[in-house]
Structure 1
Amino acid sequence: MPLLWISYQAWTLNLGADPAEEITDFTGTWTLRFLWLTLAVTPLRKLFGWSWLIRYRRMLGLYTAFYALIHLLCFVTFILGWRLDLLWNEVTERPYIIVGSLAFLLLLPLVVTSTKKMQRRLGRNWTRLHQSVYLISLLALLHFIWQIRSNYLEVLIYGVILAVLLGYRLYLKLRTTHLLRMSKVHSS
Structure 2
Amino acid sequence: MLSINLRKLTPARISQLKYIVFLLCLLPAALLSWRFFNDDLGANPVEAITRGSGDWLLRFLLITLAITPLRKLTQWNWLVRLRRMLGLYAFFYGVLHLITYLWLDQFFDWAGILKDVWKRPFITVGFAAFVLMIPLAVTSLNAMIRLLGGKRWQLLHRSVYAVGVLGVLHYWWLVKLDIREPLIYAAVLAILLAARLLRNKPGAQKQGA
TM-score, normalised with respect to structure 1? 0.91
Task: Give me the whole-angstrom Cα distance separating, in 2, the residues matched to 1:99 and 1:44.
Answer: 29
Match of 1:34 in 2: 60
1:153 Cα deviation (Å)? 1.3
1:7 Cα deviation (Å)? 0.7
Partner amino acid for 1:137? Answer: G
Match of 1:107 in 2: 133
Q: Does 1:76 align with 2:102?
A: yes
Task: Write out aligned runs for 1:88-99 (5 A).
Answer: 88-99=114-125
Partner amino acid for 1:157? Answer: I
| Matched-pair identity in % | 43
Match of 1:186 in 2: none
Partner amino acid for 2:34? Answer: Y
Q: Relative to structure 1, is the Cα distance of residues 91 and 153 closer, same or farther in structure 2, using a 3 angstrom cutoff?
A: same
Task: Give me the whole-angstrom Cα distance separating, in 2, the residues matched to 1:56 and 1:178.
Answer: 25
Match of 2:44 in 1: 18
Q: Relative to structure 1, is the Cα distance of residues 19 and 166 closer, same or farther in structure 2, using a 3 angstrom cutoff?
A: same
Partner amino acid for 1:82? Answer: F
Farther-moved stretch of structure 1 (9-18 vs 24-33): 9-18
TM-score, normalised with respect to structure 2? 0.82
- The unaligned stretches of length 5 or more in structure 2 are 1-26
Task: Give me the whole-angstrom Cα distance separating, in 1, the residues matched to 2:78 and 2:133.
Answer: 24
Q: 1:12-41, CA deviations, whole angstroms, 9 ceiling, x for partnerless residues?
A: 211111111111110000100110111010
Q: Relative to structure 1, is the Cα distance of residues 12 and 172 closer, same or farther in structure 2, using a 3 angstrom cutoff?
A: same
Task: Write out aligned runs for 1:139-158 (5 A).
Answer: 139-158=166-185
Task: Give me the whole-angstrom Cα distance separating, in 2, the residues matched to 1:66 and 1:101.
Answer: 15
Match of 2:71 in 1: 45
Task: Give me the whole-angstrom Cα distance separating, in 2, the residues matched to 1:137 and 1:55.
Answer: 21
Task: Give me the whole-angstrom Cα distance separating, in 1, the residues matched to 2:140 and 2:169.
Answer: 25
Question: How many residues matched?
Answer: 179
Partner amino acid for 1:27? Answer: S
Q: 1:84-134, CA deviations, whole angstroms, 9 ceiling, x for partnerless residues?
A: 111010111111111111111111111111100111111110111011101
Task: Write out aligned runs for 1:109-188 (5 A).
Answer: 109-123=135-149, 124-174=151-201, 176=202
Partner amino acid for 2:146? Answer: R
Task: Give me the whole-angstrom Cα distance separating, in 1, the residues matched to 2:205 and 2:40.
Answer: 56
Match of 1:61 in 2: 87
The alignment partner of 1:150 has SS state of: coil
- The unaligned stretches of length 5 or more in structure 1 are 181-188
Q: Relative to structure 1, is the Cα distance of residues 68 and 164 closer, same or farther in structure 2, using a 3 angstrom cutoff?
A: same
The alignment partner of 2:175 has SS state of: coil
1:177 Cα deviation (Å)? 5.2
Task: Give me the whole-angstrom Cα distance separating, in 2, the residues matched to 1:2 and 1:27.
Answer: 8
Aligned-residue Cα RMSD (Å) equals: 1.3
**2:198 and 2:204 in contact (8 A); partners too:** no
